[in-house]
Structure 1
Amino acid sequence: MAPRPTKRSTLTKKHIARLERERRQSRMIVWTAVAVFLIVAGLIGYNLLNESVIQPRQAVARVGDETITTAQFQARVRLQRDQIIQQYVQYEQFAQMFGMDFSAQTEQLAFQLSEFGAESLGQNVLDAMINEILLRNEAARLGIVISEDEIQAHLEGFFGYYPNGEPTATITPTEVVMPTISAEQAAIVTITPTPTIAPTSSGTETATPLPTATLDPNATATATLDPNITPTVTLEPTATLEPTITPTASATTLPTQTSTPAPTRTPEPTATPITKEGFDERFVASMEAFSELGITEADYRRLVELDLLRIRIMEHLTADMKPFEDQVWARHILVGDEETANSVRERLLNGEDFAVLAKELSQDTSNSETGGDLGWFSKGQMVAAFEEAAFSQKVGEIGKPVQTDFGWHIIQVIGHEERPLTADQFEQAKQTAFDNWLADLRAKADEDELVETFDIWIERVPLDPSLEEALSALGQ
């Protein structure tokens, strides 16, 4: 039987058109999927590139021809946050050891580390970095150069390593003869405000307390760590160059609030000289801790160099300073309104005793019991309006009421003279001179439009390391 012939299907135009549509749809789906994939991959790639390459190199500020990048800024913020965390832990440890209440300090530090305090912290760090560039430029102008050997020796000193022997400070005692109370001052007041250490009959010493001055409420201070915890280089704002891996408390010194507008050195005292091996071990551990914050060894050495530049510039600026200072001895009565102030002044002009009225009426309870006596003070210690009045009044004069943020002051100047400074006071005067010089340098740079900042830094302030993680790691 012959095979039956197969019937070949014939594609109609309709079938061909449908197949063509299906092929186009398939290709469209494929190309759409490929496009979506490429877009997603591109976005992911761009975000990764932006976060790891583009963004870190973007400038947050420029000072002349120099740029502060996002990466540099963020590393310094993390360094500052690490410093604040160390301070927080230290306060907590002292609270546990001595049963003292440091809640006000820890709350302030916790706020700086919070999201709400991030912008303020970032602003302080950025200002510090700008000032550091200005400081370096000024050092170059003055011909101040720090060698690599000096940097290495200074760095080793932070860790208590002195390969050529620990330097011994030579102290040359100088006799300071304080002026005696003049007849004019004695006629005004009989209280001696100068704090002294006087021997008692038992052979011990007792301190005469210094009257409390009315300080500027706008003044700010930054906390520094106890040097017994870690060797640090403190920058503006305070930045510890030796992160504490395992903080330990010391019973020798309580945390203090000190103004540190420029790098200051706080080396760790050691009971026995550290060996080269010991230094190398600690240095490597420190560099590993710094790397987690984004600080390289080169960055660290630049900060050490900056510390030395600050010291040399301060020496240059204060070379001609003498250990004497224009000071005023004054007393005051603080009241709440101008009418009361005028009434009190009128009573004083009519002969009523200043000390008696101060004890009765003054709202400044820190000195009302001592007749409103503020003792001797120099410029920069009082709020501006109070200072201007005190330094411009004649000795013995009952000045017109002066208004400050505290209220209304009736001031009487008891003495006004050049007074010798103690060693500590002289060092503080040098620091103040340096601070003022740096503030003027920055103001001049801003005026000359040498400094430019970009608001992108505000959204790039890092929130790590966090206080919560640090406390968790310490088991607190």
Structure 2
Amino acid sequence: MAKNDNVQPAKPMTKRQRARWDQERKQSSQVLLIAAAAVGLAVLLIGIGLVIQKVIVPNKTVANIAGVEVSNAEYQQYRQIMQAQQAVNLAQQIQQYAQYQLQGTEQFATDVTNYIAGLKDKNAPLDYTVLNQLINDKVLESNAAAEGITVSDEELQQSLAAKFAPANEVMNPVAPVTSTNGLTDTASLTPTQTPTPTLSEASARVDSAITTYFGTLREFIEETSSYGLATLPFDRNAFKDFVLHQERLQLLREKLGEKLVTEDQATKEIYADAQQIFVTAGITEPTDPLTATKWAQAKTKIDDVAAQLTSTAVFTDVQLANTTNNATDNPATGMRPLTEYAALGITEPISTQQVGVIGEPYQSAQGWHIVLVHQRELRPSQSDLATKRDEAVTKWIEEKRAAANVQRFPEPTATTVPPTIEPIPTTIPQPTTDPAAATATPASEATPTTDSAAPTATTASEATPTTVVTPTP
């Protein structure tokens, strides 16, 4: 091979060139190290962020109840399910308001938007109203067992099955008192009683109802374009657990209320089982020029009905013959509180008329009535009983919560209540006109006047509080 005379051997680098080359190589290495460190730091920060968001934040403690911790994840799911239900309920109210052209739909729409927007935030700031409700639920549940109060799975399923029963199926039928439109009685068709479902049947009904409701809730929130939430932050199983748990808490409250307040502690109220035959006067306006004529016609008709009532035995037959409610086959209303008869305008004959005797025609603001009272007695008022039991349970939970040393993290900031400013008096005591009283008297010897015409000043500490008595319904 011929030797290439054009190839020149490399010249050795000078000291200056060697120093520059070493410096550039070091700089390149430093740049690579810095870039690698930056990438590593970014990956580390992303990892830390994911750990904080997925592990630390959901598992951080937001409340402690007698040593039992409530995690942020539990609170957030509780809040989200409640807000989703509130959004749906408010949307239904908007439809009702719009149907009757009522005001207030704008505020409802804003609330719905806010509720659904809150579903997007998995780590929303604490809403202490929601957190306090969650804490009260846990206090009730943890302390009820100590009172010997429990709810079995069968009780739970049967209770929900009754609430989810179809409209035409009544497990505990109660004949409602109907309105007095036209010539009709207070009785209405008693729904046919259906057998109590078995546990498996009740569970199947509950499961089906919850599935249907969850589907409606998800459809509303996910497919309503004006709100635009892509996916619910909880699934059907979580929603079902929430519904079952809330029903269990409700049953615990009811049982606890029955233990804390017995029926004999409630105000007594008149209950009666009665029938009526009603003839409307057909008055729509007080200034109706035909008022006298319509009342006369109604009186003639009620007198004709009264003539047919020869005995209590024929009351039902006459009632059915003169009613526009052809479906009526159970003429008795059952034992009802007197307040339920108030809408019919017949509380007076119901409470005073002799039992078992057909009353004389009775005139109310709507028309004429003939009443037959089958039974009447004093019973504990169920409305008063429910109020007292609810108050007793609320007080019981407050006491148990205070004893449990509940802590919230963070605790809400205390708000300063502004001092109460007493209003400036608007009346000025008038000076006496008695000449004898005009003589100056030392303040230490002055006797306060008792003139009824002059107002007497009373300090706030001496004022006697006024007791407002609320009549029992």
TM-score by length of 2: 0.47
Q: Which has the higher contact order (CA 8 A, sep 6+)?
A: 1
Q: Which structure would you say has the larger Rg? A: 2
TM-score normalised by structure 1 residue count:
0.47
Larger strand share, 1 or 2 = 1
